[in-house]
């Protein structure tokens, strides 16, 4: 039986709703009343609509990301990411596995977009990112998902792999804003972003959460579909993100409101260049920048075909990664990752 768009949206929301059969939290409501997201201020200044127009015009000769395919997505042409004009969504629900300051008590309101402009061969979400599993929806439906996540008490709207659907996200955010959306947007990206596009997002996004996957162009090319410019391009994008939102700020309940949160996945055989990464952060950003050095690499998708990354990381590889970060005087490491580090270090010494 064919699934209609309406069925899909209903099912997607119900999936999240089953996790959350309790009223929206009182303190979250109070916080939302007191705190205003960047895009609300932009709307008041009369600048949001113009930004959306500018973003949508990019679809005609798509250069939303560093691949710069030049296809006309308004006419149905598809580029490297294989994304159509309308957003394709795999799911939308409160997520409790994200960073503690995003999850809080009621979850991070996560929307998973299908397709991807980077397409790593070790992708942990490959059915969504590579195969495009999901359902095409309208911008109005996307706005409805945002509002639903807010109603359930989520602390933010966490946009996973947003790069190739950025104009749709902006349009949906404005539609939702007019209906009462008040949560910060989390731009949860692979980091493979054009500087010009990040500049366009100035005044819209409150929390940037980019990955920094590699520090070496050859590794990026090998494992991320030829993206040899990844380290250079991502470094510039992250510096601009920091210029816009700065060091992470939280509310009195330690819930993230605005700032930069960088993710770095430790890979086997030092493929990710972790030592170089932490030194780069220390030299180019405030030492109090939030950095999550993640231990959860697993062999997914085609990674088993590449000997260097066809195993999980060792305890030593994770310990040395956190030690490099400490030696670089980074002061705001993700507490969960530090707890994993402390656990293994203690076990080693006992
Ligand atoms: S968003 Fe997609 S179509 Fe546009 S430049 Fe990037 S890969 Fe190409």
Q: What is the DSSP string of 229-255?
A: THHHHHHHHHHHHHHHH-B-EE-TT--
DSSP calls for 17-62: HTT--SPPPHHHHHHHHH---HHHHHHHTT-HHHHHHHHHHHGGG-
On whether the CB atoms of residues 126 and 145 are closer than 8 A, the answer is no
Ligand 1 centroid to residue 85 C-alpha, Å? 11
Q: What is the pLDDT of residues 327-350, one digit of tens each?
A: 999 999 999 999 999 999 999 887
Q: What is the pLDDT of residues 36-93, one digit of tens each?
A: 999 999 999 999 999 999 999 999 999 999 999 999 999 999 999 999 999 999 999 9
On whether the CB atoms of residues 246 and 256 are closer than 8 A, the answer is no
CATH number for the 5-265 domain, one of 3.40.50, 3.20.20, 1.10.3470, 3.40.109?
3.20.20
Q: Is 160 helix (H, G, I), strand (E, B) or coil?
A: strand
Question: Does residue 21 have a pLDDT over 90?
Answer: no
On whether the CB atoms of residues 312 and 297 are closer than 8 A, the answer is yes
Looking at ligand 1, which atom is closest to the CA of residue 164? 1
Alpha-carbon torsion (288, 241, 168, 121), positive or negative: negative
- Which pLDDT score, from 0 to 100, does residue 16 have? 43
The rounded distance, in Å, linking the Cα atoms of 297 and 271 is: 12
On whether the CB atoms of residues 155 and 256 are closer than 8 A, the answer is yes
Ligand 1 centroid to residue 118 C-alpha, Å? 10
> Helices marked H in the chain — which ranges?
5-17, 26-34, 38-44, 48-58, 100-103, 126-129, 139-151, 166-178, 195-200, 217-223, 230-245, 274-284, 315-327, 335-349
Q: Which residue has its alpha carbon closest to ligand 1 atom 3?
A: 79
- Which pLDDT score, from 0 to 100, does residue 5 have? 57
Looking at ligand 1, which atom is closest to the CA of residue 71? 3
Ligand 1 centroid to residue 271 C-alpha, Å? 26
- How far, rounded to the nearest angstrom, does the alpha carbon of residue 105 sit from its chain's CA centroid? 20
Ligand 1 centroid to residue 117 C-alpha, Å? 6
- Which pLDDT score, from 0 to 100, does residue 4 have? 59
Q: What is the pLDDT of residues 163-209, one digit of tens each?
A: 999 999 999 999 999 999 999 999 999 999 999 999 999 999 999 99
- Which pLDDT score, from 0 to 100, does residue 28 have? 46
Per-residue b/e over 320-336, b at no fewer than 16 CB within 10 Å? ebbebbeebebebbbee
Domain boundaries along the sequence of the chain:
5-265
Q: What is the pLDDT of residues 86-114, one digit of tens each?
A: 999 999 999 999 999 999 999 999 999 99
Q: Kindly give the pairing relationship between strand 207-210 and strand 108-113.
A: unpaired
Instruction: Ligand 1: list residues with CB < 6 Å.
Output: 62-65, 67-69, 71, 79-81, 83, 117, 164
The rounded distance, in Å, linking the Cα atoms of 165 and 114 is: 10
What's the pTM?
Answer: 0.92
Q: Whole-angstrom distance between the N-terminal and C-terminal Cα of the chain?
A: 59
More confident residue, 25 or 259: 259
């Amino acid at each position: 039986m064919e699934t209609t768009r309406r069925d899909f949206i209903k099912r997607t929301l119900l999936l999240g709703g089953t996790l959350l059969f309790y009223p929206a939290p009182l303190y979250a409501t109070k916080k939302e009343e007191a705190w205003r997201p960047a895009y609300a201020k932009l709307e008041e200044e009369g600048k949001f609509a113009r930004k959306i127009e500018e973003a949508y015009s990019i679809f005609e000769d798509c250069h939303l990301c560093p691949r710069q395919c030049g296809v006309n997505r308004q006419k149905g042409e598809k580029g490297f990411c294989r994304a159509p004009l309308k957003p394709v969504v795999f799911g939308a629900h409160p997520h409790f596995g994200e960073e503690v300051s995003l999850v809080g008590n009621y979850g991070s309101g996560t929307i998973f977009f299908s397709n991807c402009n980077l397409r790593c061969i070790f992708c942990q979400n490959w059915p969504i990112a590579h195969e495009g599993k999901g359902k095409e929806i309208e911008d109005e439906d996307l706005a409805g998902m945002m509002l639903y996540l807010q109603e359930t008490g989520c602390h933010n709207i966490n946009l996973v792999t947003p790069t190739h659907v950025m104009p749709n996200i902006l349009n949906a955010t404005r539609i939702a804003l007019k209906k009462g959306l008040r949560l910060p947007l989390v731009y949860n990206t692979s980091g493979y972003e054009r500087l010009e596009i990040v500049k366009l997002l100035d005044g819209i996004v409150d929390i940037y959460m980019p990955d920094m996957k590699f520090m070496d162009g050859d590794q990026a090319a090998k494992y991320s579909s030829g993206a040899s410019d990844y380290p250079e391009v991502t470094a510039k994008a992250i510096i601009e993100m920091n210029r816009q939102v700065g060091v992470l700020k939280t509310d009195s309940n330690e819930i993230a409101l605005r700032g930069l949160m960088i993710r770095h996945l430790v890979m086997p055989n030092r493929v990710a260049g972790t030592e170089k990464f932490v030194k780069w952060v220390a030299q180019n950003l405030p030492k109090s920048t939030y950095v999550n050095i993640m231990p959860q690499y697993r062999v997914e998708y085609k990674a088993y075909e590449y000997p260097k990354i066809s195993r999980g990381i060792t305890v030593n590889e994770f310990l040395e990664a956190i030690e490099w970060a400490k030696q670089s005087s980074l002061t705001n490491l993700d507490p969960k990752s530090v707890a994993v580090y402390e656990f293994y270090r203690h076990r080693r010494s006992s």
